Structure 1
Amino acid sequence: MTSTLGKKLRESRKQASLTLKEVADKAGFSTGFISQVERGISVPSLSSLRAIAGVLGQPISVFLEQPSSADATRASDRVSYRVGDGALAYERISAKFEGSTLRSVVVHEPPGHRNEPVSHEGEELFFVLDGELTVEVEGVPTVLTRGDSTHFDSRKVHSTWNHTSQTASLLWCGTMDVFGEDAIEPVHKNEKRKGG
């Protein structure tokens, strides 16, 4: 539940002796967005939760239980999961092994959903499996349709928006540890990023 996630984040922030503003500044979001997440009003995306957890000095796995790694997955066996009771649904498709740096999930983004702008270390690749999606990188929007892709430096402020009336599905591949299996990564602070 979103309220449980918010409560865990708030307790972790207080244990770290951080204010809402300090977490917001370090993660690169607005204070209002962090407050809404803690109160269960807003649900962060997987990458945004990862950024907040990093500021709190915790792996994402403290706040979110995700499917375990498997070398191969069949579509019928994959588990769909969400951050809290958020709108985005995820299916893990990458495995974890010694030396691996690539993570990947299938993301199902509902009509009208807009992700908060974010930036962090690493790189990302989006490949649209079904539907249409607007991807904005450094303020430049690009509409991607089925079969289209984009690959970019994750340090650039980026977000997605499903501007249609149909669910959009995309393959997300990146180097950010969205599963909380590695050591905590540094957070890339970006003053231009805003959330909420």
Structure 2
Amino acid sequence: MREIGSEIKELRKQNNMTLKDLSEKTGLSIGFLSQFERGLSTIAIDSLELIARSLDVGLSHFLLKPNAKGKYVLKSFEQEVHEVINNKFIHYNLSNDLNKKSFLPRKIEILPMEKEEDIKEYSHKGEEFIYVIEGILTLFLDSKRYDLYPGDSAHYDSQKMHNWTNYTSKMVKIIVVSTPNHYFEGEVNRDNE
């Protein structure tokens, strides 16, 4: 917690914010923020998320293991669940240090959908590369449906309308490499990606 507190203080100063400014943005007291920055108190994850948003970084900016930064190799047994979205998409970052990197490599496990549902396509800046490791991924791209099998891949401009899901009864595992890296840019996309 002490390392996170000092990093918050550093980010706050880089953003030319006082403790009072951060307090007003988060609703957390100046006294609490001061104690946390100095490593004298702990913080709940929802409060840390408020701080992250106020400093224009993703929550993961503070949760990536500090001792992993600077390591170039990530062993398979070191991979940890980074986040779970909509109780269907389990994300693993495939890098120890995503800060100042241009692309975001992830392994994503997609749980089966209970029934075929209409999938809403969306777009965002950047590009995506998908490689299917296991299962059958259903990709929607520009209102067309594609079923991708193990060994299949897709590479497209993310500004095209797109989305993907698992319409089967078994787990789907994919590798996704995308730009921009929202951990570096402070952007957080909360859809299935």
Map Cα deviations across residues 98-146 of structure 1 (whole Å, 9 max, x no partner): 8631211000000117765321111000000111110011111110000
Aligned to 2:160: 156
Would you say the 8 A contact 1:94–1:102 is kept in 2?
no
Would you say the 8 A contact 2:136–2:168 is kept in 1?
yes
Would you say the 8 A contact 2:128–2:155 is kept in 1?
yes
Would you say the 8 A contact 2:83–2:92 is kept in 1?
no
Aligned to 1:130: 134
Aligned to 1:61: 59
Q: Percent identity?
A: 19
The 3 A distance-change label for structure 1 pair 132 and 95 is same
Would you say the 8 A contact 1:57–1:184 is kept in 2?
no
1:165 lines up with 2:163 in the alignment: no
Aligned residues: 136
Aligned to 1:118: 122
Would you say the 8 A contact 1:64–1:83 is kept in 2?
no
Would you say the 8 A contact 1:95–1:103 is kept in 2?
no
- The TM-score with structure 2 as length reference comes to 0.57
CA distance in 2 between counterparts of 1:129 and 1:156 reads: 24
Query: RMSD of the TM alignment (CA)?
Result: 3.6
Aligned ranges 1:87-98 → 2 under 5 Å: 87-96=88-97
Aligned to 1:181: 184
Aligned to 1:40: none
Map Cα deviations across residues 15-39 of structure 1 (whole Å, 9 max, x no partner): 69xxxxxxxxxxxxxxxxxxxxxxx
CA distance in 1 between counterparts of 2:184 and 2:121 reads: 24
